[in-house]
Amino acid sequence: MNRRAPSAFRAIARRAGGAFPRAGIAAAFLLLVVSAAQAQHAGQSAKQPADASGCPVAPVAESVDPDWVGRYLADDALEGRLAGSPGEHCAGAFIARQFELLGLEPAGDDGTFFQALPLASSINPHAPSGTGRNVAALLRGHDPDRQNEVVVVGAHYDHLGRGPFGSLEPESGKVHNGADDNASGVAALLEAADLLASGPRPARSILFLAFTGEEFGLLGSNHYVNHPTLPLERTVAMLNLDMVGRLRDGGLIVYGVDTATEWEELVAAAAAHEGVKVAFNGSGYGPSDHTSFYAQDIPVLHFFTNVHSDYHKPSDDWSAIDTAGLYHVAAVVADIAGRVAERSARLTLQRTEAPPPPRGEGGYGAYLGTVPDFAPVDFGVRLSGVRAGSPAEQAGMRKGDVLIGLDGQEIADLYAFTDALRAHAPGDTVGIVVLRDGEEVSLVAVLGSRGEPQ
C-alpha cells in the first residue's frame, strides 16, 4: 500500500495549517464505527452524532480513503440513500466535501458541486416526487486547445432506501445499504479522482459525476445529458463505475468495449499494468448510467465485478467488500481516463448495436415476475423465487429453475434476460425454457406490465 503514500502526503501539504483537531476526529470516527456495528446487530439505524445539517458526522481525513468513504455511505444512518431522501442529501454533501478535499472545481449549478433535478418521472411512476442532486466536480486540463473537451468518470450514489421498489426482499422493510451497489463505485470514483488529481495534469479535462436516481431508471444521468455542464459534443468518453466491490470473486468485467475502436487495447493495457483479470463485453447499453451517454453517441465503458446473492437485498453490506480490490479498479479507471484525456485524437465511436426499444410505461418494458438469484451460474439466470400471481408463477416457473431461453432467444445471463424482456410488450405470449433438476422444461408465459401493482 505504499502506492498511497505520495498522494496522502500531497493532500496533507494542501491542507497545511492543520485546521482539524485529530483527537476529536478519531473519536468521532470510532463512534461512527461502533454505532455502525451496533446498528448491524440491531438491524436498524443507531443514534449517531449529527452535524449542523442533521447528517451523521463524517470522519475528517487528510486524503480520500475508499474504505471509509464506503463505510460512511453504506452505514445504516444514511437509510439506504433513497433518491430525494435526507440520507441521499447527506451522501451528496459528503461526496462534495471529498471533491473539495481533492482540490477539484465545483461543476454543478451556480458555482456549486450540486446539480438539482426533479425526480418525478415519466420513466418510472414509482419514482418519488421532490428533488435529488447529482454531484459534479472538474479537474481542468492543461492544454488550452483541449481543456474544453472532457472525459466523464461517473458512479451513482443513490440506492433503494428500505424498498420496496427495486428490492429483492421487498417485504423486509429493512435498510438496504447498497455497499456494492453503489457505495463501492463512489469509493473507487473518489480514489480515481485522487490518483488523477495528484498525477501530472492531462491535456483534456476530467469531469467526476456522482449520480442520483439511478435505481429509479437512470434519472440523474438522463438529466445530466439533457443539461450537461460541458457540451456533449465535447464529451469524449464516459467511464461508469457501478458495482465494483467484489474484485476478488472473479475479476473485472468491462462492458462497452465495442463502443470505440481503441477501447479494447486501452483497457487490456491498463488491466495488465494493474495485474487485474479482465473480461470484455461489447455492449454499450446496460442497466446503468453509461446507457444515457452511449445513447448520445459518446463512447462508454462500464466497470463491474458481477452480481451476487446480496444484490438489491438488505445484506449488501460493506463487510463483504474487497477494499484492496477497489484500489485496483480505481487505478485501472484512472489509467484509462488519463490516457483518453491525454491522447491527441479523440476516440473513434462505434455504433454496433441498435438502441434498446422504447421502454414500456412501467420503465422496464414487459414484466415476468421472476426473482433472480444473482449468484453467478455458468449459463442462464437462476431463480430464487417467483412473485405471487405473476406471469412467471402462472406459467409454472419455480424457485431453483435456471432460465435459459425466452421466445427462442438464448438467455446467457441477466443482461440477456433484461434485453429479451425489453424487446417485448406487455401482453405478448412467449415460450420459456428452464433447466429444472438438469432437465429442459418448456413453458408458456403471458407477459404483464411493470407498471401494474405487484
Residues that bind Zn ion (CB under 5 A): 181
Cβ 403 to Zn ion, closest distance in Å?
20
- Taking the least distance from each CB to Zn ion, the nearer of 79 and 181 is 181
Cβ 158 to Zn ion, closest distance in Å?
9
The strand pairing partners of 300, in sequence order, are 238
Cβ 168 to Zn ion, closest distance in Å?
10
- Taking the least distance from each CB to Zn ion, the nearer of 11 and 183 is 183
Instruction: Name the DSSP letter for residue 58.
Output: P
Q: Half-sphere exposure of 215 toward its Cβ, with a 13 Å CA cutoff?
A: 28
User: 206: closest CA among 108, 113, 338?
Assistant: 338
Residues in the chain: 454
Give the whole-angstrom CA distance, residue 178 versus residue 320: 11
Cβ 177 to Zn ion, closest distance in Å?
12
- Taking the least distance from each CB to Zn ion, the nearer of 101 and 155 is 155
Cβ 188 to Zn ion, closest distance in Å?
16
Cβ 215 to Zn ion, closest distance in Å?
5
CB-closest chain residue to Zn ion? 181
Give the whole-angstrom CA distance, residue 136 versus residue 155: 11
**Burial bucket for residue 167 (CB in 10 Å: 0-12, 13-18, 19+):** buried
Q: Which long-range contacts (CB under 8 A, 24 or more apart) does 143-148 make?
A: 143/203, 143/204, 146/203, 146/204, 147/203, 147/204, 147/205, 148/205, 148/230, 148/234
**Burial bucket for residue 427 (CB in 10 Å: 0-12, 13-18, 19+):** exposed
- Taking the least distance from each CB to Zn ion, the nearer of 172 and 394 is 172
Give the whole-angstrom CA distance, residue 433 versus residue 416: 14
Helices H, strands E: what count in the chain? 11, 17
- Taking the least distance from each CB to Zn ion, the nearer of 184 and 259 is 184
Cβ 174 to Zn ion, closest distance in Å?
16
Cβ 217 to Zn ion, closest distance in Å?
11
User: 150: closest CA among 205, 111, 198, 100?
Assistant: 205
- Taking the least distance from each CB to Zn ion, the nearer of 287 and 380 is 287
Question: In this structure, what are the phi and psi dihedrals at residue 50, rounded to the nearest 5 degrees?
Answer: -115, 150
- Taking the least distance from each CB to Zn ion, the nearer of 80 and 228 is 80
Instruction: Name the DSSP letter for residue 340.
Output: H
- Taking the least distance from each CB to Zn ion, the nearer of 155 and 332 is 155
